Amino acid sequence: MPQNRFKAIVLLIVMLVLIKVPANAQHKLWGSNLLLEGRANYGFMINHHLEMKIFNAHFPAFEINLGKETYGRERWQTMYGYPIIGISCWYSHLGNSQFLGSANAIFPYVNYPIVRNGKHEINFRVGLGLAYLTKRFDRLENYKYIAIGSHINAAINLMGEYRWRINPRMNVAVGLALMHFSNGSTKTPNYGINTPSVNLAFAYRLSKQNTYLSKKIMPSLYKFEFPGTKSIDLAAGATIAYKDMGSDYGQKFMIYNFFGTVMKQFSFKSSVGIGFDLTYDESDFYFAKLYEVKHDYNRDLLRFGIGPVYRLSMSKLSYNFGLGFYLKGLMAPQNIYFKLGLEYDITPQIFANLTLRTHFGQADFVGIGLGYKLPWIYSKKI
């Protein structure tokens, strides 16, 4: 049944493209510059835990991608070298294992050019979306499958590729990719699935290519862009997360994380600064009681962390990379934690965020939330 849904989605995308996109569109329609691509992968599962060696196998995976070559409609496209943005439908039977089942994923992606020279280019693709796994851990019916505890998971795709433009309509590409499935510990177990692969792709341009726009005809400043003034951005917000540990302890927990950042933006792309975290994790109180951890006050179980943050901005969307150190928290599993996040500006002050916190590869939680930022301008000189 999931395979049929996957095929129906792909067929619908192709039909919409063929109906809507005129062949001579140039700088007129959002649907111009479209690429329809088929990609075949061949890889294996990384056995990063001893219990997963029984699933060792090599298997194929297939993608149908609908991409759009940017041409400078917005400034970030020019600054990042006119990347390809698109959406991918990904499928694999994961080695035909009766325990693993199959995986169906759909994720938007950005394919950043690293080197581009006429007909040849080297790109790096980043994709993030959702996956449906037909099998999951069940303590009675599928107890050997300790990698994933839920059907719905996050799908993260990283890929480096070499692309050759055969002619104005046809592209061929070869690449190395990593596909990762995880639920961010929203439901245990959650070792995750990692599948590296090699791949081959053929792409066909569905409309006439737009020529690159010059920076000179762009507005001097867009609404969400860095104005070049000397300022420090102050931000604060909160995220909420859910952790289902029913298979291990028969319990479900909520996690509340309050964060703040002090950031200095140095260019249209980059900001650096320092971040703060205060976390109330219900599971910490549960395990403190279960293992009789001595503490004088409940606040001793709150986790407080601090560390450097780097932000990479693309207009309204930003990637956040943080390294943190716990200064407080009796039940913190490690002294160091990592934060990976996406921020989307709803207004110039209000943003939504999606954050993953990990401890050396072990997911702690995935949180969603809102934040508010306020620039402190100490010099208006640009």
Helices (H), the chain: 2-20, 75-79, 246-249, 282-290
Domain of residue 59, residue span: 2-216
**Do 65 and 183 have their domain in common?**
yes
**Do 90 and 144 have their domain in common?**
yes
**Do 175 and 283 have their domain in common?**
no
- What gap in Å lies between CA 111 and CA 122, rounded to an integer? 10
Among candidate residues 323, 245, 332, the one with its CA nearest the CA of residue 281: 332
Q: What is the tally of structural domains in the chain? A: 2
Q: Quote the pLDDT of residue 23.
A: 39
Q: Quote the pLDDT of residue 101.
A: 87
What's this model's pTM, rounded to 2 decimal places? Answer: 0.82
**Do 125 and 253 have their domain in common?**
no
Asked whether the CA dihedral 204, 206, 207, 211 is positive or negative, the reply is negative
Query: For the chain, which ranges sit under pLDDT 70?
Result: 1-31, 48-51, 214-229, 378-382
**Dihedrals phi, psi of 282, to nearest 5 degrees:** -60, -30
**Do 206 and 337 have their domain in common?**
no
DSSP code, position 361? T
Q: Quote the pLDDT of residue 17.
A: 45
**Do 150 and 201 have their domain in common?**
yes
**Do 209 and 234 have their domain in common?**
no
Alpha-carbon distances, residue 38 vs 12, 13, 35, 63, 204 (angstroms): 15, 13, 10, 6, 9
- What gap in Å lies between CA 108 and CA 89, rounded to an integer? 9
Alpha-carbon distances, residue 250 vs 247, 253, 332 (angstroms): 6, 10, 21
Q: Quote the pLDDT of residue 27.
A: 45
**Do 17 and 108 have their domain in common?**
yes
Domain harbouring 98, CATH code: 2.40.160.20
**Which of 166, 200, 216 is a domain's end point?**
216
**Do 55 and 85 have their domain in common?**
yes
Read off the tokens for 14: 């192709």
